[in-house]
Amino acid sequence: MKAILSVYDKTGIVDLAKSLNSAGVDLISTGGTHQLLSELSGLPVSRVSDLTGSPEILGGRVKTLHPTIHGGVLAVRDDPAHMAELKKHSIEPIDVVVVNLYPFEATVGRPDFSTEEAIENIDIGGPTLIRAAAKNHASVIVIVDPSDYQWVAEALGEGKVSMAERRRLAAKAFSHVARYDSIVSNWLNDPEEIFPQELTVGLKLVSRLRYGENSHQKGAVYANALNESGIVAAKQLHGKELSYNNILDADAAWAAASDIPEPAVAVIKHTNPCGLATHPDIAEAYRRAHAGDPVSAFGGILGFNRIVTQEAAEELRSIFYEVIVAPGYDEGALAVLKKKRDLRILELVDSDDMARGLEVRHVSGGVLVQERDVAKALADSWTVATERAPTNSEWKDLVFAWRVVRHVKSNAIVLIRDEAVVGLGAGQPNRVNSVHLALREAGERAKGAVLASDAFFPFPDGVEMAVAGGITSVIQPGGSIRDADILHTANNAGISMVFTGERHFRH
């Protein structure tokens, strides 16, 4: 038997080579792998160039791209014509291929890389060799993952690697190359062309979860290639294993809190912010966020956009929360929070992920792709549509409300008072129901509050209900064929109304 070993990541390769050598496998290698195995480890290893009769050329760009190598890998062992051709050209079969690739992902993930450096780290021979071996997996064992070294070596020592195992290794090999190619293609894509003709997504398993959204569903979490930010990259400092729903809600908490420029805290339940408030003192911001809906806050997820202080930690310690995510925690805060045995504490510093990339949602037969909704609340572009303009305090609340409402499931209605959520209506089939729910939640706090609607009011009834509940100002996209009727209702009631000209549906 013969094996080619050509790896950039040398983890475990010496032990694998020793096991293969002990099993009577002839070893062939290239470049740095050969140096490690032969000169530093004393193993009997031939060079690929000795086998091919051709030197490595073009600075190492061409090493394994040779008929002697690919003929030995691709020959079908039970095809007499293939084997006769190998004999005719003095080519020996290659039975094991161990390859991993140049670190393109790590290279372009650095802030200081050059284009030339990135290009040189696009592997050509490695993926070609992997694909050839994976195609001929009935005859060739292909290994791309160091975690497979030990069991494959043991199986070869016993003289048996089953067809099911070979097929599994081949599938992993093709997935490995496909992800690698997707990273390269996405890096090469014109950043102005957000929807290329063919869209590839490179994902890597982070962990298998206990279950998915419900206990009868299996679940896992994967990380995007070229993206080391976002909730998947959060560092868990304490608490139980994260669940599917924890991750989903923690992402919503981080998105809502980090969307606010000022110090803010979000309380999330089923991806909706049942509480969200801003205040210069982060502990006070938490108190106001929790007060938005204290009942729903129980068992929720907290998102902070500033360092969690000990005072804030003391405030929340008496309430059961599943997860807290923040850019950091002071020492006293961690000491307090870690007393809650099951609380999952996440640290996530980089919020840039919220402002880039695409959203991909599966539908039957394919996917929907769109840009993230990261439009800023630009009050300068808004229109005061009523006879009365908002007061200064109403303007502050309207701007805050417009930032909050895009994080709420449509049809979305948010009531804000003193830059804190006091009522929420989410995910209802009609807007009037959302207004009703928000007013019911707010109660007396609705008096003097402002209202944000993620889309226009199709009829005056929603505004009439808001006026009756004590709302003094409304912000909405406008654009309904009944805008005149709606503005007539607002003017008669003496409230102010602002049109933004954009909507924030979130399905």
Q: How far is CA 155 from CA 20, 93, 146, 173, in A?
A: 10, 20, 15, 18
Inter-axis angle of helices 80-88 and 67-74, to 10 degrees? 160
Helix (H) or strand (E) holding 185: helix 163-188
**Helix/strand/coil percentages in the chain, nearest 5:** 40, 20, 40
Structure tokens at 296: 């729903």
Query: Which residue, 431, 432, 438, is CA-closest to 411?
Result: 431
Q: Could you give the CA distance from residue 352 to residue 196 in angstroms, rounded to a whole number? A: 23
Residue 83 CB-half CA count within 13 A? 6
Residue 157 CB-half CA count within 13 A? 13
3-state class of 241 per DSSP? coil
Q: How far is CA 267 from CA 333, 434, 452, in A?
A: 18, 19, 18
Catalytic residue numbers read: 135, 270
Label each residue of 410-442 as H, E or C.
Answer: CCCEEEECCCEEEEEECCCCCHHHHHHHHHHHH
| Contact call for residues 336 and 310 (beta carbons, < 8 A) | yes
Residues contacting 1, CB < 8 A, separation 6+: 23, 24, 25, 26, 95, 96, 156
